[in-house]
Amino acid sequence: MKINDLIDYGNQYLHKDQVKLIIGDILNYNPLELYNHLEETVDEKKCEIIKKAVEAIINKKPLQYALGRTGFYGYTFKVNENVLIPRFETEELVENTIQYIDQYFNKKAKIIDLGCGSGAIGITLKKERKDCDVTLLDISEKALEIAEENKENLQTDVKIIQGDMLEQVEEKFDIIISNPPYIKEDEPIDDLVKNNEPHLALYAKDNGLYYYDKILKQASSHLNDKYIIAFEIGYDQKQEITELVHKYLKDVRILCKKDLQGRDRMLFIFKNCE
């Protein structure tokens, strides 16, 4: 088939912009360039990949799962139904954490990414600050398989371990970073997310606070004297998580930062960072 035929095929089922995005991604063309290649013949294998991606979208699957990958902080990560699709807000968490690594640890810190999923956070931190020692941890074996593939694809020297947050961890770190499950069990969310992304990585007991409590309760014995804890949080969880911080940690400084949409989205906890 030619690119023009594939566009016609996709346009029968999807919006033309989605079709161009799918075909452009699989053929490594900017979607705006496709019309310069309409008569180009596409090999059978790629035609089948494009058709399967279109079918997935028809069946209300996220585009990222249909493509099998997504962009995050300028890198391409493999994703599937066993891991969350990384969001723009998480890129902001990474961006701020990099700034604090530079400011307080001279670009070299020992980091653990708890509930790593695809590995987007930890692998990105390692790519951006190569002198950091980075560990990825998740309870899901299937998620860790994806993280391992992303580690290899992005040629990143990170350690990957399976565990329930900090329970099986013996080392100490300078930075704990996590985007844990934080959606309340009865909280309504978009059907596309609810019906496709892993509930293990979305929902948390105790009004969405279960994993923050679990991490903070265990954190002291896994942190060096000087440390940062970096959380992504729900837009309405700032006060409750701040109370948990004060419950478990002493003499710390807490900073909540808003995302680009003006919502409370990142909580940073500093100890001896002056």
pLDDT digit string (tens) for 121-155?
999 999 999 999 999 999 999 999 999 999 999 99
Residue-level pLDDT at 194:
84
- CATH number reported for the structural domain that contains residue 102 in this entry: 3.40.50.150
From the list 20, 51, 18, 26, the residue with the least C-alpha distance to 38 is: 20
47-72 CB burial, b ≥16 within 10 A, e <16: bebbeebbebbeeebbbbbbbebbeb
Host domain of residue 232: 81-271
Checking if the pLDDT of 191 tops 90, the result is no
Same domain, 85 and 163: yes
Residues 126 and 25 in one domain: no
Give, in order, the Cα–Cα distances in Å from 78 to each of 113, 146, 147: 18, 7, 8
- 50 with 86, same domain? no
Is the same domain home to 151 and 228? yes
- Residue 17 pLDDT greater than 90, yes or no: no
Tell me, yes or no, whether 41 and 134 share the same domain: no
Question: Has residue 116 got a pLDDT over 90?
Answer: yes
Give 32-37's long-range contacts (Cβ < 8 A, gap of 24+): 34/3, 34/7, 37/3
- If asked whether residues 100 and 161 sit together in one domain, one would say yes
User: Same domain, yes or no, for 46 and 125?
Assistant: no
- Is 70 a domain residue? no
Q: What is the mean pLDDT of the chain?
A: 94
Q: Is residue 220 part of a domain?
A: yes
The one-letter amino acid code at 59 reads N
* Number of domains, the chain: 2
In a domain, 25, yes or no: yes
For residue 73, is it within any domain?
A: no
Angle at which helices 238-248 and 210-219 cross, to 10° = 30
Residue 67 counted as domain residue: no
- pTM of the shown model: 0.89
- CA dihedral (121, 116, 23, 29) positive or negative: positive
